[in-house]
A and B are shown apart, each in its own frame.
Chain A
Amino acid sequence: MRRYSVFALAREGFRQHSGWDRAWSSPAPKSRYDVVVVGAGGHGLATAYYLGKNFGITNVAVIEKGWLGGGNTGRNTTIIRSNYLQDPSAAIYEKARSLYEDLSQDLNYNVMFSPRGVMMLAQTPHEVRGYKRTAEANALQGVETEFIGPERVKELCPIIHIEGPRYPVLGALWQPRGGTARHDAVAWGYARACTAMGMDIIEQCEVKGVHSANGHVTGVETTKGTIGCDKLAIVVAGHSSVLAQMAGFRLPIESMPLQALVSEPIKPCMDVVVMANTVHGYMSQSDKGEMVIGGGTDSYNAYTQRGSFHHIEETVRALIETFPIISRLKMLRQWGGIVDMTGDRSPILSKTPLGNCFVNCGWGTGGFKAIPGSGWAMAELVAKGEPGPLAAAFGLDRFREGRFIDESVAAGVAH
């Protein structure tokens, strides 16, 4: 595959852009692969990429029932941060954030990582205490983050109404190197890099069953026929329980819709990401000028990719209180994704009761930020058959042993 560069741009400019290669191929499946990854979202593609890059395993297929990146990866609000409370979380999210810093160079694909800073507002005394605690924990973990007062909040984001009547802003947890990236580009960039290593990305191919013999996986049944494999990585976010059922085990996961919406584009008015967890809403401004808005999940299990209207109402109500200038904005689009929620709000990277079958799921409302780190850790788990240091704490056994990685306090809302 030819590299993208300023010279390639100039060359193609002189010949009507007729010489670009397809970024990824979507071939017919072979009968067998060393590793089959189910799910071509960011996590599945990153798993495949680091299997090739870090372990030299390139006889890999990534199987996707729809189109590449059409799951939560292409539906999320792209907030990237790593200031979590617990050590194992900070380690894997910070690994991911630091990989994002030069992901565009690594993949030779512009993922538009924009470390514009992420601010999590503290609007109750309880939140102030919680975020100060997180800031101290982050200092010990080596994650750059700080607790800032309301004046600094106003300085960084002038459109915030600091003295709101219900929930005045008392401060914020501020991560200056957090930010956003272009979600599709992350999926496309990994897909292109996987194709360049000779991997197959097979779209419009749904996995319908898992084959096994003597307690070990032997392949998958798909809408494009049987595909054999030595190892299987299930990376399907909201559909994890459905795949687990095919593989014969249960997961501590419930799937729920999470929605987002964007406004009409307006002039630049906000160059940081703001999350307001107490009132349930967060907002950033895209490069096109749209205000990108998200809130909380629905409260009951569903696979409808739509979500309930009253959740949007709640989110918008909360944000108008915090940002009065958006009260007359028209909303352009709304959509939903199906997020995979665990009890401790932490992900699962794990071996499973079925031999040579591994799962990566449970990222819930906040896994976009984790894609590079998760793929890195998952590749190690799949290649070696045992988790490395990043994945070790996230095994399924933690539920039986009571070793939860409780992030439900640190991240009270979707993010």
Chain B
Amino acid sequence: MLTLTCPHCGVQADETELSAGGEAHLKRFGPGSSEEELEGYLFARENPKGPHFERWRHAYGCGKWFLAARDTATNQVFGTYPASEAQPADTLRDLVTASRPGWMWRDFGGEA
């Protein structure tokens, strides 16, 4: 069973206490954007076999949204951080790089 630490209340929550919210760090496109941008925002998804950044809500806990870095092939969790952070911190990226050198996720990545 997947266990994530909620960065808001510090509880180690197992997945039955959480609800998954899909891809993290989506940039919203609305009126005035191109069709391609709107389509990309609504439907195209990062779906890597490897490190992934995603949204979770501590639904049956404090109720707040947070983000997690997790490997989709192994379910290894690299870390969690509040949804208010616009990018994963360098320390977290380094953690991912330590076990998955050369990873890429959108335009975030380890060393080239």
Q: Which residues of A contact B108 (CB under 8 A)?
A: none
B73, closest chain A residue (CB) = A303
Contact indicator B72/A310 (Cβ below 8 Å): no
Check if A304 sits within 8 Å of B74, measured CB to CB.
yes
Q: How far is the CA of A239 from the CA of B49 in the complex (A)?
A: 8
B48 at the interface (CB under 8 A from A): yes
Given contacts A299-B19, A299-B20, A308-B15, contact A399 B39 (CB under 8 A): yes
A248 to B70, CA, bound (A): 24
* CB-based contact B44/A300 at 8 Å: no
Is there a chain B Cβ closer than 8 Å to A400's Cβ? yes
Contact with A along B1-34 (1 / 0, CB 8 A): 1100000000000011001101000000000000
Residues in B neighbouring A303, C-beta threshold 8 A: 49, 72-73
Task: Verify B43–A343 contact, CB threshold 8 A.
Answer: yes
Q: Which residues of B contact A245 (CB under 8 A)?
A: 48
Is A252 an interface residue, CB under 8 A from the partner?
yes
Give Cα distance in the complex from A168 to B37, angstroms: 46
- Asked whether, in the complex, the Cβ of B39 is within 8 Å of the Cβ of A400, the reply is yes
User: CB distance B49 to A242 under 8 Å?
Assistant: yes
Whether, in the assembled complex, A196 has its beta carbon less than 8 Å from a beta carbon of chain B, the answer is no
- Which residues 33-55 in B have Cβ within 8 Å of A in the complex? 35-36, 39-40, 42-45, 47-49, 52, 54
Please name 9 further chain A to chain B contacts, defined as beta carbons within 8 Å, in addition to the given A245-B48, A301-B54, sorted by A numbering.
A241-B47, A250-B40, A250-B45, A254-B45, A255-B49, A300-B54, A301-B47, A302-B72, A302-B73
Top 5 nearest A-B pairs by Cβ distance? Answer: A241-B47, A252-B43, A300-B20, A299-B20, A250-B44
Show 28 A/B contacts (Cβ-Cβ < 8 Å), sorted by A. Answer: A241-B47, A242-B47, A242-B49, A245-B48, A250-B45, A251-B45, A252-B43, A252-B44, A254-B45, A254-B47, A299-B19, A300-B2, A300-B15, A300-B54, A301-B72, A302-B73, A302-B75, A303-B49, A304-B72, A304-B73, A304-B74, A304-B75, A308-B1, A308-B2, A308-B15, A309-B1, A399-B43, A400-B39
